[in-house]
Each structure stands twice: as structure tokens, then as C-alpha cells.
Structure 1
Amino acid sequence: MAIKKSQLYSALWESCNALRGSMDASQYKDYVLIILFVKYLSDKAGQPGFRLKVPEGCSFKDFVALKQDDKIGEKMNTKLEAIKELNARQIGDLALPNFNDPTKLGSGRTMVDTLSKLIGVFENDALDFSHNRAADDDLLGDAYEYLMKNFAAESGKSKGQFYTPAEVSRVMAKLLRIDELDRAEHTIYDPACGSGSLLLRALAEASNPRVSIFGQEKDSSTAALAKLNMLLHGISSADIKVGDTLADPQFKQYGMVSTFDVCVANPPFSMKNWLASGMKNDQYNRWTANLLPPDKCGDYAFLLHLIASMKTDEGRGACILPHGVLFRGNAEYDIRKHIVKQHYIKGIIGLPPNIFFGTGIPASIVIIDKKNKDSRKGIFFIDAKDGFKKDGAKNRLREQDIKRIVDAWNAQQPIDHYCRLVEWSEIERNDYNLNIPRYIQPKDTEIQHDIEAHLHGGLPAHDVDEMQEYWNACPSLKVSLFNNTANGYYHLKPAKADIAQVIEKDPSYVSQNGRFSTLLNKWKAEIMPQMKAVGQGARPMELIAKWSESLLDNAKEHSGLVDAYEVYDVLLNYWADVMQDDCYMIANDGWTYPEVKALKSGKGDKKKAIMYDEIVCDLVPVSIVLAEYFTAETTKIAKLSFSIESLQRELSYLVESNTDVFRFNYDDEDDKPVNVKIADVKKAIKNAKTDGTTKEYLAILKLWESTYTKKEGYVSQWKQKCTELTEEVVAKYAALTEDEIKMLVVERKWLASVVGGCEALMQNVTHHITSDVTSLAERYEVTLGATEGKVNDLEQEVLRSLKEMGFTL
């Protein structure tokens, strides 16, 4: 059976992180990832087309054999050097971490235990990289990406710059028309490639996976990560060089920097002291003494290098830069003016704050395109700063945010408060200041208080009209909620407590809700056959792209009050959480009998049969099987559970309200009867006459006994029903046909979850309208006159109290 990526990656990270000890994550990652590489190398060696080789005695099994060896660090170094030497052509310049370094790994037994545990992490049977599960599934590459993201997050300020968040990389790749790269001679280049994640995201968008990629990285250990990243993604032809791109560019041709079809970069923000001696007049003509980026800020140095590295007439690229480059003065003003007048900049996208590792400041993507630059009318600005979600300590672009940016860019049409094309003349009038708020006005969310309404009551027309998007979608809703008076002020019709009910009953809102349900049903009818047609060898990533685009198109056409991109987000989130793993299982194994796991719980002799609702099946969860086939049985069990709980409450009440009767089992600390046992009660009843127990106490004891007996009867029935149902459920799993599995997974699991999530969006609309209308009503609910009257009343009450106490004013 195929494995679940999410569980595998999480287990990998938790295991690796637990072994890190006091070592910084930016260092520990080097050790983890090289062992991951050895595991991959061992699994893939000998397969057709795989170029790397494993020396004798250097497979992952040989590393496993070193566990608990007193010289484990030294021997691991020897094996890694042998692997590097045998594959010198591909990884000859790969910098290897020192596995015999006591300053990082501890000495003696500490080092032995740490390295033994590290190797043990990758002994997981699920980590079999000998083949991918589907044509477009990159199990290992995604595992590397997952670990890199977590290492970057843990590395602290200034040490997480080796990784560009995948969501930002995807945006950049999609904006650059990389899908047009369809030949091996096409090239992609990153002058500050870090661990190579941005390069790989760009390559993933290309039509031809054999497009050539090039990268340069200043830090040798980070460059080693990039080379490993390429190899673990199955790319052995990537050319990654080490060196300072600004001082010593490694890709040169005819005395100038080499040029490429597409350039991408996420350079260090505002790098200080980048300008080495003799660089003022750059020999590669990237900058001149008259257009020289300041020594204390290298942002424009990287941008100018990127521009010089693009092919003259058709090169294009994207660079992530801090917002300061858009408006700073002095030398940077001159450079910005020069670049703008050359018409190099095609677009600027403002990103949210705190999405990059190592810094919390917001940044922008500057899109450079030399193709057709002279016919370009201006720069297309997108203000995407508000589109994100919190993800731990960082912010993250959601699927809807990525899609919204890409769609806006492709359409090149203005959207209020979000994007528009700014012509060159307007930029010139603003003295080449490219600060995004100059051109994209944010939505005004400031509340404008109406003095008249505060004085005399009523709801200002301006405030009601601010909710025009609601009234456009539901024309009769405004009339259902408000009375319009002759003086231009409104009054709320229903009581505040009834606003939600009025909204839900409004004819136009009901109609809007119906149209939304219709679009979901239409999409379900369209997609269901496609989902059931998924089979072995399918390409899940292509499928979800098609399904999500279909849902978005339907939502844009019919959704009304519900944001179409939020509908899109529901599907993509569910894909990431559940559907992706399911589709890869099906692509690998087909719609086969779903594997049922964990029919026993506990360890060793303490193992016990688990309950029917504890059965684990990744593809077809037991809750779905129970709901589809065993509702009568689960209802009976639920009724028995309720009866047991009710009788238990009766027993507890008897004990708590008759403490003297149950003194035979007291808790010394609290002086309360606890843990009353049936044997003690029976004994007390039997010895009642001898002990002089009163008739009243005896009746209470007998009532407790009969209630307990009744409860135990229900418990016995409950256990029997549970055992029977567990056996029936296991048998049902084994008997499921392929058509039944498809129905359960597609209809009851996938579509039910997605449609349910979308319907919840419509419910949220009700809450939003209710909240907005309620807030407006409360804003002007108490007039100044009423407030003054209340103040006067309070003042008189204080004066009376003072007079009673003998004080006068």
C-alpha cells in the first residue's frame, strides 16, 4: 500500500528534531540531509537511467551496520568520501559535513548514540525511494522540501535565507510564462540560489523537464544543499557553482556575464559591504560609477546583475526585494529612474509581511521583461499584502492568494484596491517613486461617525450604503432590514436578536443561497465521473489543477456573496490535507480492498481488541463505513451508552447525597466516599442487621445495588454489540466492491467534505451581514440626549447619597 506523505514527513521531522540537541538547525540540517541522500542513493542505484553509483560497503545497509560502533563518526566520513570519489563527475565538489566532530555531535558515547539514532530515523520501511508512487509524485523531493522548510523556520534570524517559501516560488514561476520553455536549450538561472528551491519550482512550471538550470551560491555548505536538492529531485545536470555572484560571477561568456531565458532570485535583503575594491566600474557592465548601488545596501546590485543576465530581446525574470528599493532616494533613485526609463519593469507585486525566513519585513516581487519592452504602456501593480494566513510564527500565502495574484496578472485588468496598470506618464509625475500605496489605494475601513445620528438617532445612509455588496447580491435584503425615513436616515426594522433570522428568511437571500447550492451540485455532477475514473498511473497534480479550475470558474459565475477564491481554497486545502494522499494511493494501487490497520492496541501481552470506531483505514475511514452501512447498529450502541451514563449519574448522586450510608469506603483526605464497589455494598446489605443499619439506609444501599446491576446489564449488552459490530465492520471492509469503494471515497468522503466546506462559507456570510448590521445599529443606539439624561440621573443619585451622609455642595 502507498504511504501518506503528511504522516511520513511529520514523523521524519519530529525524529530529526528530537536528535538535534543544542546544535543550531542551520547546522544540523547538513547531517540529516546527507543521510537522506545516502538512503536515496542506495534505493535508486542500479536502476535504468540512474547515473550515480554506490561503492562496495557504502550502501545505507552498511551505514545501519555502523550503529553503536565506537568509531561510527570516523567510518561514516570514510564511506561518504568513497561515495563522493566514485561519483566525482556529479558530486565531486560537494562539501560533506564532518560526522566525527565532537563540538557538534558530542564525544564518546554521546556521539555514538546520536549518530545511531539519526541513521535509525531513515530505517523507516515507508522510506522506499526505489520508485515513485505515480508519474508526477516526487516523494523524496517533497520530503527534502518539507525538511528544508522546517530547518529554515528553526534556524533563527539571518540563518533561514537558504530557503524561499514554496508558495512565493510558485507565484514567481507562474508569473514568468515558464510553461513556454519547451526545449532543453532553454535556460533558467538563479544568482543567489540558496538550497535551490526557487530553481526547482521554476523548472516544475516548464513544459520540458530537461530545461537547463544554473545557480550560484556564496556559501559552500548551502550550495551543497542545492546540489543535493537537485539530485534528490532526479536532476543530475544542474550546474550549481560556489562564489560571490556580485564580486565574482561564475557564469561568463566572452568577458561578460552569461545570459539566460529566465532569471529568478531571492537575494539577501539589503546586504551590507557588498562593494569590494575595484568594483565601482564593473568589468561586466552591470553598473557604472554613475549608476552605483550604495555600499551599505546591495539590493540594486543584485537587480542590475539579474537584468544583465537576461537575454537581450526576450529574457525575463523575477526578483524578491524589500519595499525600500521602490522609493529610496540618492543613488538608488538614479538607478530606479534608469531602469524605469528603459521600460524593463513589467510588474511589481507587494507581498504580505513576515512570510520569509530570517526577516519579518514585507517584500515585493519585481518582474523584469525585456520582450516587447518598448511597446509596453506601463507597470502593472498588484497589492497582495493582505492575502495570507497565520502559520505558526510566520505568515503564509494561501492557495486562494496565489491563484488571485496569478489570475490578476494574467488578466492585466484593474481590480479596485488590488491591482491596475500604471502608465509611464503617471510614474514620471510621481518622480519615479514606485511605492505601491501611491498607485493602489487601500480600501477605506475607517468608521466615519455621523454627528447628527449620535445626537438624534437613526442610521446614516452612508453607513448603510457601505454594505452595497450585500444589497447588490440580495436586492430585497435592505428593505427587509431597514426603514428609510424622509430625512435620509434609516432605522433598523427587526430587533437586534432577530437580524440573523430575518436575513435567512429574506427572499433574495434564499434565492442567493439556492444559486450557490445549484453551482455546487452542477460542479459535483461534472466532477464525480472524473474522480471515479482515477486509476493506476494517474497524474494527480494534473487532476487537481483541472478540478480546482472548474470549481473556481463555476464559483466566479454564480457565487454572488461568497468569494469565488475562498471556494477554490476549500478544495485546495482539502486536497493538501486528505485528497492528495488518497489520489496517490489510488494512482499506485488502484481502487483495491482498502487496508485496515490497528485491529489490536497496546503492546505485548497487554494487547486487546479495539473498538469498531478505532479501526484505521486511510482511504475509507471507518466513520464513513459506519454512516453508510451500520446506522441502526451505532444508534443502538449510542442508546446503550446513554443509558449507562444516566445510571452512572444516578449512582454518583446516591453516593454524594448520602455520604453517611457509604462510610465504608472513605477517602482520608477529602472525607468523601469514593470508588464505591458492589462487593462493599453487598457486604453492607448482608451485615445490615448485625451492624444496626437503619431501614432508610438499607433502602438506599439496595437502590444503589439494583441500579448498579441494571447498569452492568446495559454494559454487558454494550460490549456484546460493540464486539459484534467490530466483526461486521471488518467483514464489510473485506467485502467492499470496487464500485462501493469509489462511491464511499468520492461521494461520501471527498465531495461531501468539499461541498460541506463550501456551504459553510455561505453560513459565514449570514454571520458577516448580521455582525455588520448589528455593529451599525449599536453605534448609534444611544443618542447624546439619552446619555445626558442618564448622566443627570446618576448625578442626582450621587447628590442624594452625599446629602444623606451629611455633605453638601
Structure 2
Amino acid sequence: MTQVQLQQLQKQLWNIANTLRGTMGADEFRDYILGFIFFKYLSEKSVNFANELLDGEDLSFLELDENNAEHVPYIEEIKKNAIAEVGYALTPKQLFHTLAERGRQGEFILDDLTATLKSIEQSTLGTDSADDFANLFEDLDLNSTKLGNNASDRNALVAKVLSHLDDIDFDISNTEADVLGDAYEYLIGEFASGAGKKAGEFYTPQTVSTLLAKIVTQGKDRLRSVYDPTCGSGSLLLRVKREVKDVDMIYGQEMNRTTYNLARMNMILHDVHFAKFDIKQENTLTRPQHLDKKFDAVVANPPFSAKWSADPLFLQDERFASYGKLAPSSKADMAFVQHMLYQLDDNGTMAVVLPHGVLFRGSSEGVIRQYLIEQLNVVDAIIGLPANIFYGTSIPTCILVLKKNREHKDNILFIDASNDFEKQKNQNKLLSEHLDKIVAAFEKRENIEKYAHVATLQEVKDNDYNLNIPRYVDTFEAEAEIDLDAIAKQLQALEQDSQETDAIIADFCKELGIVSPFAEVK
């Protein structure tokens, strides 16, 4: 599929999504359309898998009839293999195309669609994929009045959406391109741009995700593991996976239930096998789910300056104990940093997006920052990003890069990329050339006038461990010098011109026999 065709597909899906827009908000109709697309993906994958098993039997999966005694053994064998290999099972009558076709014929399909979605979840019970499919479709309430005031209206709307989706070929058998994955990411981004403040909960702009991914994979072609403690829709984790040949295992945690479901769907839809990801739903700071593990790469875009309990009992928690201070209850930014660093492997790299306040705020945050630099020496680089590039907030942000075993132990790299962006209607955007410039500066680790500075640890100490970027990268542009003598001469010339003009006006007034405006008042 060409880039033009992909863009056409993305627009087509967005138009279908807008079929639901009139009845609900962006974050609500997002859950329905993405859920329906995911169901279509599961159906098409089931058909492809079953047809491979049926190769040579002169039968296709869609032709199998559960009421035909000769077909039942085929259906049962396919189900057993599907659960083991792809993690779930569907029967022919439960397939997306089957239900969409019935909807086209005017049949009432809501009850069967609800039962089918539940059946997908139940088919995994007691298997290795159970956790990845449990309650996956719980946000698709097909009886909600948001879809229509009565069952008939709801059925008509859902049938219309399914019919439009059924006409699209997602080309999931094409192993050379992730067509559906790219389209899905596009939709998530579009929903984020329309969801306002809530968007920050589940989506990191693609260029920022790519930047974080390039940083944590620098010099590596595969990762044993990658982890995001606030994974949202999982897009950042998937971006890291794209930067290397393979990631053995993907870990994530997300507090919001709906977003957690979206993350699991996103993993499966991007063809990440159920055995190769582990996404949990809980509050990372208070109930971490992977605390027994260390990771090659750790990435995150945590909620900026979120509140947390800062309970003194956390000073006994091994993640925070050695610092002697906790992040303030009004700003959990440093708590996320401490948590992520604790889970970072000795030879791993961590990159996290945070508000600039973490670079210079005092009190307990200042103590933590000094400990990170002076005692642990883990701060490797600080990258300043432009303002207004994230959904839901216009504040400028920065990326902290931390490593436990740093190659450059005697310095910290500062990059000021805050002025490199494309200004768009409602939001600034990092372009690929801006991204390339940042990555090149990060890799070269050299002083670049008005852009990057390699600061010694002594410099940082002399600045009282304040990491505010302007202290290290001088972006001041001196204004052109003003020649006062030249200005004085220009004023004199203007005065001369003014006097000559006044004299001409006075002569005209004299000829006309009127009083000159410049005549002295007696």
C-alpha cells in the first residue's frame, strides 16, 4: 500500500468514525469505533488462521456450518488451535463480516454482537492469554442511549458503522506493512487532538514518541525488555518496538481502565503476540505491578504535575528510601523519575517527558535532583522541547535521559530545541527535520552554539544542581547596535524638512488670504 493509499484509508476510517460523532463526545465515540475496528481485525485474523489450517480440505472458514455434523470437528479443532496460537477463538457465525452482512439485511444484531464480544473474552478463560483479553470490550455498551434513544435506532447506527467497515480491506495478511496499525495510530492521534485535556492521559504525539524511542535504543538492534509505567494507549511502547529488530517482552501499567483496554487492543492489533506483552491496570506509584523486574529501556510521558499521596510510609519503599525525601503531594513528577530509575537495568536507558519545573524547583525536589546528580550520577542529558506540542497543555516540556552506567560520567548534555517547530493552527508540531537535529546533537554530544552544551559536573554543582537549560545553553540574540550619532543626524534632517514644509504651507496660506496655522497667536 502506498502512502497515498494509506492516507485515503485513514480519512475513510475517520469519516466512518464521525458517523458516531453526533451522539457523543470525542473520547466516547473513540471507544466505540476503535472497538469495532479491533473486532474486525480479530475476525480477519481468525479467518486467515483457520484457512491456513483448512488448506487442502476444499473448505473455507466462512463456509463451515455449526449445524452441520461433518463441520463440527473442523470448528472444534480450529478453536483449540486458535486459542493456543492467537489467544482467542471465533466461530463462523460470530465473524465481523457475518454480523455486518446481517445488519445490512436489516436484522437486529445488537444482542448477538454483544454476545460475540463477550464470547471472545470467555474463550480465553483459563489460558495464557486470559489476562490480555479480560473485559477487553467492556466500554462497548451497545445498549447505551448515546447510540440512539431506542433499540431500533441503536441497531441501525451500529449496523451502518459495521457495514462501512466491512467494505474496507485492512490487508492484514501483508507482513511487509502494518497498514491497520498505522491507521489505528492515526485515529488515536485524531481523537487525542479533539479530546482536549483528557488527551494527555492516553496519547503522546508521534514525533515525541519517536524521539524517546530513538534515545533509549541508541546503539542497539534488539531489546530484552521495554517498560512504560504510564503507558496510556501503548503507542510509546510500540514506537520503541519499531526502532529495533525485536523486543523480547513489552511491559506497561496504566491507571485509567478505558485507556488500559485501549493499550491491550493496540498491542494485539499491532500483531504483538499475547505472550510478548504484559499490560497491567493499577496506579503505578501506589501499586506497582512489575516491581520485581528490571528493564533494558524505560520510557514514559507521565501526567504532568499529578497529585499523589506522598505518604511518609513511602520513605520505607525501596524506590524512594535512599533519597531521604519524597516528591511533594502536589507534584508527583520526581516520584515517577525515582520509580522508573529503580526499574531500569544497570545497562539500560531511561527517557521521560516532564514539565520544566523538575529542572529547577527547590525543596524536596531539589534534594532528589541533587542526589540523582551528586550521589548516583545518572543524569545523562536534558532536552528542552517547544511549548504547545502536547494535547491538553501548552506548557514547554523537557526530556530527562538517565543511565545507571554512563559512558560520559563527568558531564551532562543540555540541548535546547525549544525554538524548532512548525506552528500549526492549534498546536506546535515537531517535524522530522527537528527530530533529526535533536538526535544528531544527542549522538555527537558536542557544544553547538545556541543549541547544545556539554556541562561538566562542576558547572552543575556551581549552579547548585539547578538544571534549568538557559543556565547552560545561551540562546540570547544580541540586538543590533544603535549608532546614536546617525540617529541625531536623522533627527536634524527631519527637523530641517519639517521647517521647510511649514514655510511652504505658510506661503500657500498667504496667497489664499487665510491665517497660517504656524502664525504666532497674539
Shorter-chain TM-score range: 0.7 to 0.9
Q: Distance in 2 between matches of 1:323 and 1:277?
A: 24
Question: What do residues 53-109 of structure 1 show as CA deviations (whole Å, max 9, x unaligned)?
Answer: 323421111330352757544332211111121134241242522332434222224
Structure 2 CA distance for aligned equivalents of residues 130 and 444 of structure 1: 52
Most deviating of 155-164 and 444-453? 444-453
Query: 1:199 aligns to what?
Result: 237
Query: Is the 1:55–1:83 contact (alpha carbons within 8 Å) kept by the matching residues of 2?
Result: no
Aligned-residue offset at 1:22: 4.2
Deviations 1:12-57 (A, max 9, x none): 1122124211412112111111111111112121426644432342
What residue is the counterpart of 1:190 in the other structure?
228
Q: For residues 436 and 278 of structure 1, what CA distance do their matches in structure 2 show?
A: 32
CA distance in 2, matches of 1:345, 1:21: 48
- Give the Å deviation of 1:215: 0.1
Aligned match of 1:362: 396
User: For residue 181 of structure 2, what is the amino acid of its counterpart?
Assistant: G
Code of the residue aligned with 1:86 in structure 2: it is S
1:474-623 correspondence runs (5 A): none
1:279 Cα deviation from its structure 2 partner: 4.1
Q: Deviations over 1:158-201 (max 9, x none)?
A: 33430111111111111123552536xx1100000000011011
**What residue number does 1:329 align with?**
362
Aligned amino acid, residue 106 of structure 1:
G
Distance 1:320 1:314, change over 3 A: same
In structure 1, C-alpha distance between the alignment counterparts of 2:478 and 2:187, rounded to whole Å: 40
Q: 1:287 to 1:21 in 2, by over 3 A?
A: farther
Greater shift after overlay, 56-65 or 280-289? 280-289
Which residue pairs with 1:417 in the alignment?
450
One-letter amino acid of the structure 2 residue matched with residue 190 of structure 1: D
> Which residue in the other structure is 1:386 paired with?
419
Q: 1:157 to 1:805 in 2, by over 3 A?
A: farther
> Is 1:246 paired with 2:285?
yes
1:416-474 deviation line (CA, Å, top 9, x unaligned): 00112111101111111111111111150634322233344xxxxxxxxxxxxxxxxxx
User: Which one of 121, 129, 154 corresponds to residue 171 of structure 2?
Assistant: 129
Q: How many pairs were matched up?
A: 470
Measure, in 1, the Cα distance between the counterparts of 2:311 and 2:10: 46
Alpha-carbon deviation of 1:278?
5.8
Structure 1 segment 700-739 matched on structure 2, within 5 A? none
Give the direction of change, closer, same or farther, for the CA distance of 1:215–1:792 in structure 2 (3 Å limit): same
**CA, structure 1 residues 206+788, in 2 after alignment: closer, same or farther (shift >3 Å)?**
same
Q: Secondary structure, in 3 states, of the residue corresponding to 2:22? A: coil
* Residues 11 and 445 of structure 1, relative CA distance in 2, 3 Å threshold: farther
Distance, in Å, in 2 between the alignment partners of 1:796 and 1:58 is 97
3-state DSSP class of the match of 1:113? helix
CA distance 1:18–1:790, shift in 2 (3 Å): farther
Question: Are residues 432 and 276 of structure 1, via their aligned partners in 2, closer, same or farther at CA, if it must alter by over 3 Å?
Answer: closer
Aligned to 1:520: none
CA deviations 1:272-310 (Å, max 9, x no partner) are 2x1165644242333468311000011111111111111
Offset at residue 249 of structure 1 (A): 0.3
Question: 1:120 aligned to 2:158?
Answer: no
The alpha-carbon distance between structure 1 residues 86 and 355, as it changes in their structure 2 partners (threshold 3 A), is same
1:117–1:222 CA distance, 2 compared to 1 (3 A): same
The corresponding residue for 1:788 is 495
The 1:178–1:797 alpha-carbon spacing in structure 2 relative to 1, beyond 3 Å, is: same
- Residue in 2 aligned with 1:165? 205
Residue 351 (structure 2) pairs with residue 318 (structure 1): yes
Mapped to 2, the partners of 1:356 and 1:282 lie a distance apart of 35
Residue of structure 1 in register with 2:305 after alignment: 270
Distance 1:337 1:276, change over 3 A: closer
CA offsets per residue over residues 205-242 of structure 1, 9 Å max, x none?
123x2421100000011011110110011002210000
1:756-797 C-alpha deviation (Å, 9 max, x unpaired): xxxxxxxxxxxxxxxxxxxxxxxxxxx323322222234445
Say whether residues 1:32 and 2:46 are aligned partners. no
Query: Contact 2:172–2:180 at 8 Å: present in 1 too?
Result: no
Looking at CA atoms only, which structure, 1 or 2, has the larger radius of gyration? 1
Structure 1 residue ranges without an equivalent (≥5): 457-782
| 1:439 matches 2:472 | yes
Between 288-297 and 70-79, report the one with greater CA deviation: 70-79
C-alpha change, 1:282 and 1:14, in structure 2 (3 Å) is farther
- Equivalent runs, 1:366-377 vs 2, <5 Å: 366-372=400-406, 376-377=409-410
SS at 2:328's partner residue?
A: coil
- Does the C-alpha gap of structure 1 residues 790 and 117 become closer, same or farther in structure 2, counting only changes over 3 Å? farther
CA distance in 2, matches of 1:292, 1:187: 28
Alpha-carbon distance in 2 for matches of 1:252, 1:198: 20
Contact 1:216 1:243 in 2 (8 A): yes
Q: Name 1:352's counterpart in structure 2.
A: 386
1:681 corresponds in structure 2 to: none
CA distance in 2, matches of 1:249, 1:42: 34
Contact 2:88 2:121 in 1 (8 A): no
Q: Any idea what the Cα deviations from partners look like across 1:725-766, whole Å, max 9, x if unmatched?
A: xxxxxxxxxxxxxxxxxxxxxxxxxxxxxxxxxxxxxxxxxx
- Measure, in 2, the Cα distance between the counterparts of 1:107 and 1:160: 32
Describe how 1:13-162 pairs up with structure 2 within 5 A. 13-45=14-46, 46-47=48-49, 50-67=86-103, 71-88=108-125, 89=129, 90-108=132-150, 109-125=152-168, 127-132=169-174, 135=176, 137-162=177-202
Q: Percent identity?
A: 35
Q: Any residues of structure 2 matched to 1:216-227 within 5 Å, and which?
A: 216-227=253-264
Structure 1, residues 94-136: CA drift from partner, whole Å, max 9, x if none? 25223324342222244233212221331234x233412x62x
Residue 296 of structure 2: aligned partner:
261
Compute the displacement of 1:252 (Å): 2.6
Unaligned runs of 5+ in 2: 53-84
Q: Deviations over 1:544-571 (max 9, x none)?
A: xxxxxxxxxxxxxxxxxxxxxxxxxxxx
**Equivalent position SS for 1:38:** helix
SS in 2 for 1:129: coil
TM superposition score normalised by structure 1: 0.55
User: Is this contact kept in 1: 2:226–2:251, CA < 8 A?
Assistant: yes
Aligned to 2:459: 426
User: After superposition, what is the alpha-carbon deviation per residue over 1:486-521, rounded to whole angstroms, capped at 9, x for unaligned?
Assistant: xxxxxxxxxxxxxxxxxxxxxxxxxxxxxxxxxxxx
Contact 1:287/1:304, CA 8 A, preserved across alignment: no
Asked whether the 8 Å contact 1:58–1:83 carries over to 2, the reply is: no
Distance 1:802 1:303 in 2: 80
Cα RMSD after superposing both structures: 2.3
Task: Report SS of the residue matched to 1:269.
Answer: coil
Match of 1:555 in 2: none
d(CA) in 2 for partners of 1:364, 1:106: 44
- 2:216 is aligned to 176
Higher helix content, 1 or 2: 1
SS at match of 2:295: coil
Is the 8 Å Cα contact of residues 158 and 359 (structure 1) preserved in structure 2? no
Counterpart CA distance in 2 for 1:378 and 1:130 is 47
Structure 1 residue 146, shift from structure 2 partner: 0.3
Classify the secondary structure of the residue corresponding to 1:195: coil
What TM-score results when the alignment is normalised by the length of structure 2? Answer: 0.84
The question of 1:309 aligning with 2:346 is answered no
